[in-house]
Amino acid sequence: MCGIVGYIGGQNAAPILLEGLTRLEYRGYDSAGIAVLGAKNAQVHRVVGRVRNLAAALPKRLTGKVGIGHTRWATHGPASEANAHPHTSEDGRICVVHNGIIDNADALRAQLADAGVTLASETDTEVLAHLIARSGADTLEDAVVEAVSRITGTYAIAVTDTAHPDRLVIARNGSPLIIGVGEREMFVASDLAALVRHTSQVAHLDDGEFATVFATGYRTFTVDESDTTKPATEIDIAAEDLDLGGYPHYMAKEIQEQPESVERIIRGRLDDRFGVARLDGLNLTPRELRGFSRVKILGCGSAYYAGQVGATMIEELARIPADAEAASEFRYRNPIIEADTLYIAVSQSGETIDTAFAVEEIKRKGGRVVGLVNVVGSTIARACDGGVYLHAGPEIAVASTKALTNMAIGFALIALALGRVRDLSNADGQRIIDALRAMPGQIKSILDEGPRIAEHAKEFATANSLFFVGRVRGYPVAREGAQKFKEISYRHAEAYQTSELKHGPLALIDAALPTVAIVPADELTDRNLAAVQQIKARGGAVLAVTHEDVDFGELDVPRIVVPKTEPELDPILLTIPLQLLAYHAALSLGYDIDKPRNLAKSVTVE
């Protein structure tokens, strides 16, 4: 969703801002703009559409060494030039870019209008520019503090003032904001991706924190103006990690990277001697691990489905009741938070607002919550009491792949840690460890099947509607398969428990509605095969994602065969072909695979 960049230093700001905005494109947006401080005034340029349109619309000579930029995802008012950021005060002195939502914007807009202010947009953000400009405070910092004290909601903001061209003032509450430290130049961004080309030294603002950013340094402070000391830390992302690296799409790249990203999450964490996973970041002693009698996993979208995979693993390996719930629903049902429940928040971006709110709710009620998060230093990672980083590397494509695989592996590691302080034997722990070690090679062999899967995908892409079915361990696999398919190919894809087909959905089966069936070699194989038979008997086409040992007998069903692992871990490998299926379906339909319509990489508003 929305993205912020800012620059102050010795170089021309415009190209740096544009490059930063390009780096944030993957988050999803509908308009873009920049403001550059010139000798006397701020030059503001905004367009509907892509950053490249903005670049084309800029005057040839746009000079100025201080500026802010923004990619907007429309919330208040449609995508239009007037609604694009930066927003300015009536006299043009103050420019503001904002991520998040101001809940009391309507009331503030009415008050400003009553006071004679002409509002130039339909946005919530614009009120900030006017509030700051109209403040009687002595300093820009005080004016920003005063303005944000009048708003409720979430924000990350960056402000310029033509009267103070030596600084940017920034503030954060519920939406990420990072300062990048350069050599006599400073950068600001809502996402590391916009900074990595320039610096590896960053400081993350916390909620409720403000900063004044000069070319030569920065000062962080709180609402009552007390200094917070926020030293910069080194980040571990290289600029090349964010390039396509010869692939046609980020999604293709990220699918292919999985053997290495799986290596990374398990590296140094598998303890052969005791058949356990070493997860120091959880900040839980063996005694504390033993004390939990329930596990509750919270995530959104595909992360929620990965949570369902994880809940089953934890129940099977640790024999603790575990379930996953959509974080977006959690806090609205006034959840009961129990002291002996281990809460796990799972998120690739670490910025999904619904998951962040769920964490807040758990902590507010005194619960213990750990994170399974990919982005180091992200909001959710920092809000949790401990956690396991996924180490999947940067994920740019909106459709998540390698991060989800690492989430499932992360759950296997947590299941081992919980299981080995209970009844899981050393031998069983070792069995899982060996299987995890074999996984990168097994994933590679599935990826080698890409061309064959592409053929099936082309066929399935012609259907308007599809079913994905699976049972128990296979059900979240089916849910994720349907999710990936619909996200990027815009085909209606619905997941069902195979066992539920006969209770309703079977009525829809005919030659026009194909089914992808998850049929692992496990205790439910016969039942899954019986369901496949029922679908076939009604003229429905079936593609089975299955194991070598499954005997389809007389059933004429095309198959994608994945290597067998330990049964508890089967869902991880069964999901990989479904990523390829979705990718190749979208490719054959000619869609924008990395930036599907209406979707954003990290959903930072409710």
- Quote the least distance from Cβ 334 to ligand AGP, whole Å: 23
Question: With binding defined as CB under 6 A, does residue 347 bind ligand AGP?
Answer: yes
Return the number of the residue (175 or 349) whose C-beta is nearest ligand AGP: 349
- Quote the least distance from Cβ 390 to ligand AGP, whole Å: 10
Our answer to whether residue 601 is catalytic in this structure is: yes
Question: With binding defined as CB under 6 A, does residue 141 bind ligand AGP?
Answer: no
Question: With binding defined as CB under 6 A, does residue 501 bind ligand AGP?
Answer: no
* SS3 labels along 159-225: EEECCCCCCEEEEEEECCCEEEECCCCEEEECCHHHCCCCCCEEEECCCCEEEEEECCEEEEECCCC
How many residues in the shown chain lie near ligand AGP by CB under 6 A?
A: 15
Q: Select the residue interacting with ligand AGP from 398, 513, 518, 541 (CB under 6 A).
A: 398
Residue nearest to ligand AGP (CB): 301
Question: With binding defined as CB under 6 A, does residue 303 bind ligand AGP?
Answer: yes
Please report how many Cα atoms fall inside a 13 Å half-sphere around the Cα of residue 209, on the Cβ side. 21
Short-list 23, 170, 161, 22, CA closest to 99: 170
Is-contact 516 484, C-beta < 8 A? Answer: no
- Quote the least distance from Cβ 53 to ligand AGP, whole Å: 25
Return the number of the residue (221 or 490) whose C-beta is nearest ligand AGP: 490
Q: Which stretch binds ligand AGP (CB under 6 A): 61-69, 101-109, 346-354, 446-454?
A: 346-354
Q: Select the residue interacting with ligand AGP from 121, 125, 352, 604 (CB under 6 A).
A: 352
Short-list 124, 19, 126, 133, CA closest to 67: 19
Question: With binding defined as CB under 6 A, does residue 602 bind ligand AGP?
Answer: yes
Return the number of the residue (399 or 593) whose C-beta is nearest ligand AGP: 399
Residue with structure tokens 């081992």? 416
Question: With binding defined as CB under 6 A, does residue 348 bind ligand AGP?
Answer: yes
- Quote the least distance from Cβ 395 to ligand AGP, whole Å: 8
* SS3 labels along 425-491: CHHHHHHHHHHHHHHHHHHHHHHCCHHHHHHHHHHHHCCCEEEEEECCCHHHHHHHHHHHHHHHHCC
- Quote the least distance from Cβ 562 to ligand AGP, whole Å: 20
Question: With binding defined as CB under 6 A, does residue 604 bind ligand AGP?
Answer: no
Question: With binding defined as CB under 6 A, does residue 399 bind ligand AGP?
Answer: yes
Alpha carbon 83 to chain centroid, angstroms: 25
First-residue to last-residue Cα distance in the chain: 11
Question: With binding defined as CB under 6 A, does residue 261 bind ligand AGP?
Answer: no
Q: Which stretch binds ligand AGP (CB under 6 A): 278-286, 343-351, 456-464, 500-508?
A: 343-351
Q: What are phi and psi of 495, to 5 degrees?
A: -105, 140
Question: With binding defined as CB under 6 A, does residue 301 bind ligand AGP?
Answer: yes
Return the number of the residue (8 or 603) whose C-beta is nearest ligand AGP: 603
Q: By CB neighbour count within 10 A (0-12 exposed, 13-18 middle, 19+ buried), where does 298 fall?
A: buried
Is-contact 392 384, C-beta < 8 A? Answer: no
Return the number of the residue (155 or 357) whose C-beta is nearest ligand AGP: 357
Q: Which stretch binds ligand AGP (CB under 6 A): 58-66, 397-405, 525-533, 580-588?
A: 397-405
Is-contact 30 46, C-beta < 8 A? Answer: no
Question: Per-residue string for binding with ligand AGP, 400-429, x by CB under 6 A?
Answer: x-----------------------------
Q: By CB neighbour count within 10 A (0-12 exposed, 13-18 middle, 19+ buried), where does 78 fall?
A: exposed
Return the number of the residue (99 or 199) whose C-beta is nearest ligand AGP: 99
Q: Output helix, strand, coil percentages for the chain, rounded to the nearest 5.
A: 40, 20, 40
- Quote the least distance from Cβ 351 to ligand AGP, whole Å: 7
Q: What are phi and psi of 253, to 5 degrees?
A: -60, -45
Q: Which stretch binds ligand AGP (CB under 6 A): 168-176, 348-356, 430-438, 566-574?
A: 348-356
Short-list 334, 322, 325, CA closest to 362: 334
Return the number of the residue (175 or 400) whose C-beta is nearest ligand AGP: 400
Rounded to an integer, what distance in angstroms lies between the CA atom of residue 373 and that of residue 297?
Answer: 13
Q: By CB neighbour count within 10 A (0-12 exposed, 13-18 middle, 19+ buried), where does 118 fall?
A: exposed
- Quote the least distance from Cβ 397 to ligand AGP, whole Å: 8
Cβ-based neighbours of 321, under 8 Å, separated by 6 or more: 293, 294, 295, 315
How is residue 568 written in tokens? Answer: 């508890």
Our answer to whether residue 365 is catalytic in this structure is: no
Return the number of the residue (1 or 144) whose C-beta is nearest ligand AGP: 1
Rounded to an integer, what distance in angstroms lies between the CA atom of residue 50 and that of residue 46?
Answer: 10
Short-list 258, 362, 256, 342, CA closest to 296: 342
- Quote the least distance from Cβ 602 to ligand AGP, whole Å: 5
- Of 65, 484, 595, 601, the active-site residue reads 601
Residue with structure tokens 């053997």? 259
Question: With binding defined as CB under 6 A, does residue 349 bind ligand AGP?
Answer: yes
- Quote the least distance from Cβ 174 to ligand AGP, whole Å: 15
- Quote the least distance from Cβ 383 to ligand AGP, whole Å: 13
Site residues for ligand AGP, window 471-500 (CB under 6 A)? 487
Question: With binding defined as CB under 6 A, does residue 302 bind ligand AGP?
Answer: yes
Rounded to an integer, what distance in angstroms lies between the CA atom of residue 223 and that of residue 142?
Answer: 9
Question: With binding defined as CB under 6 A, does residue 379 bind ligand AGP?
Answer: no
Task: Give catalytic residue positions.
Answer: 2, 601
Q: For binding to ligand AGP (CB under 6 A), which residues are involved? A: 300-303, 347-349, 352, 355, 398-400, 487, 602-603
